DNA sequence: TTAAATGCAAAGGGTTTGCACCGGA
DNA sequence: TCCGGTGCAAACCCTTTGCATTTAA
């Protein structure tokens, strides 16, 4: 049940328009990256995106990908954070801010619901700390990996 | 839970003994790094540690620092995670596993109490996800930075 | 003595940048 | 036409590794 209704931010559908209205351009490379991002419906590292784009067009260069990611983040289409290994991780910007639970074994990412974090936010808020949900990362083991680990032992 | 009672910090005072009993050695370089780590009493990146060590001894080489950090982590003295910029961050291992709240403005780190995270852990636990408290990072704004930000606006 | 640790230098991985050329609008 | 984008190549930063040398125990 890893969040189905991921109808990301209202406008993942009209990227072209959003770019244009910002005086930016709609290019084949950008289209490719958008498609790839859509297909991932989750979290990917910059390097992975470069690879995925290369799958479509072997000519793809890292600089273009990273520069486009920058642009997409600027117009609020995607967000990025960092994985455990320190690499950048991008994901389609959600309609609402939310944290993530990342399995340290298989890397699976699940989004945290408001209910999951309500108390934490309240607790820290009481101490004067304003939580930024988009930068809340919880490490751990997902159900499957945990079972696998127990089995090994 | 796999939280072995590694009451780490208790022994930040007898690193030498801990190394020895593991068949490892006590060297000037290690001593320097330990001192530096003690002085930070917080979170530092690998690169920062290299710099700080160079402050004491300009001859310090990165490889030694990183290798020592590795060793220190192995004996449970320190832990590392990743900062927002993707760089490794080391900190003295706490006596008990706990998460961190990091101010995105000033970088200040505060530790989360059990009370802060109890509900989150329970909530995810119910979904089969075993939270690893040592990898729980919450971004946000600390009291002071938040006030400063409001003042600016 | 002898395995562990160091220093150096070089590689490595991910990401960024400068610059000339290309191409959407 | 014109400014934004692209591709290339090289640079960068942090981190890791191989290997000969040093050194703690």
B129, A143 Cβ separation under 8 angstroms: yes
Write the burial class of residue B49 (CB in 10 Å: 0-12 exposed, 13-18 middle, 19+ buried): buried
Predicted local distance difference test score (pLDDT) of residue A86: 62
Q: Both B62 and B131 in a single domain?
A: no
Write down the residue that tokens 């690879």 correspond to. A51
Q: Both A108 and A80 in a single domain?
A: no
Residue that is last in its domain, among B42, B62, B92:
B92
Q: Kindly report the pTM of this predicted structure.
A: 0.70
The phi-psi region of residue A107 (left if phi > 0; otherwise alpha if psi is between -120 and 50; otherwise beta) is left
Report the percentage of chain A scoring pLDDT > 70. 79
A147 domain residue, yes or no:
yes
Tokens found for residue B137? 């990072």
On whether any CB of chain A is under 8 Å from the CB of B150, the answer is no
Which residues 5-64 of chain B have a CB under 7 Å from nucleic chain D? 16, 20, 25-28, 45-47, 50, 62-63
B94 pLDDT band, cuts 50/70/90, is low
CATH classification at residue B139: 3.30.1490.190
Query: Helices (H), strands (E): how many in chain B?
Result: 6, 6
Q: Both A105 and A73 in a single domain?
A: no
Predicted local distance difference test score (pLDDT) of residue B9: 44
Write down the residue that tokens 């291992």 correspond to. B93
B12 pLDDT band, cuts 50/70/90, is low
On whether any CB of chain A is under 8 Å from the CB of B114, the answer is no
Q: Both A88 and A19 in a single domain?
A: yes
A1 domain residue, yes or no:
no
Which nucleotide C1' is nearest B24 CA? C4
A125 domain residue, yes or no:
yes
Range of the domain at B57: 15-92
Residue that is last in its domain, among A67, A92, A117:
A92
Report the percentage of chain B scoring pLDDT > 70. 80
Under an 8 A CB cutoff, do B120 and A115 touch?
no
Strand D: which nucleotides have any atom within 7 A of a protein Cβ? 4-10, 13-18, 23-25
Chain B contacts of A129, Cβ < 8 Å?
A: 101, 103, 110, 138, 140-143
The number of beta carbons lying within 10 Å of the beta carbon of residue B38 is 12
Q: Both B87 and B20 in a single domain?
A: yes
**Mean pLDDT score, B22-27:** 95
Q: Both A23 and A44 in a single domain?
A: yes
Q: Is the pLDDT of residue A41 over 70?
A: no
Predicted local distance difference test score (pLDDT) of residue A5: 34
Q: How many CB pairs under 8 A join A and B?
A: 118
CATH classification at residue B60: 1.10.10.10
Shortest CA distance to B63 belongs to which of B29, B91, B22, B105?
Answer: B29
Structural domains in chain A (count): 2
Residue that is last in its domain, among B56, B73, B92:
B92
Q: Both B58 and B118 in a single domain?
A: no
Report the percentage of chain A scoring pLDDT > 90. 33
A2 domain residue, yes or no:
no
Write the burial class of residue B89 (CB in 10 Å: 0-12 exposed, 13-18 middle, 19+ buried): buried
3 state SS of B88: strand
Report how far apart, in Å, the C-alpha atoms of A100 and of each of A63, A111, B75, B144 are: 28, 5, 30, 26
Identify the residue with better confidence: A60 or B1: A60
Predicted local distance difference test score (pLDDT) of residue B85: 64
B3 domain residue, yes or no:
no
Which nucleotide C1' is nearest B45 CA? D14
Which nucleotide C1' is nearest A82 CA? C14
Q: Both B78 and B113 in a single domain?
A: no
On whether any CB of chain A is under 8 Å from the CB of B110, the answer is yes
């Amino acid at each position: 049940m890893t969040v189905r209704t991921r109808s990301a931010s209202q406008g993942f559908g009209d990227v072209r328009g959003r770019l244009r209205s910002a005086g930016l351009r709609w290019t084949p490379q950008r289209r490719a990256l958008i498609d790839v991002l859509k297909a991932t419906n989750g979290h990917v590292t910059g390097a992975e995106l470069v690879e995925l784009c290369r799958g479509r067009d072997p000519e793809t260069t890292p600089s273009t990908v990273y520069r486009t990611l920058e642009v997409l983040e600027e117009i609020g289409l995607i967000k990025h954070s960092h994985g455990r290994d320190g690499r950048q991780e991008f994901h389609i910007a959600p309609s609402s801010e939310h944290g993530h639970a990342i399995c340290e074994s298989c890397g699976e990412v699940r989004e945290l619901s408001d209910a999951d974090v309500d108390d934490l936010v309240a607790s820290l808020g009481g101490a004067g700390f304003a939580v930024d949900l988009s930068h809340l990362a919880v490490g751990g083991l997902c159900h499957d990996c945990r079972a696998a680990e127990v089995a090994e032992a």
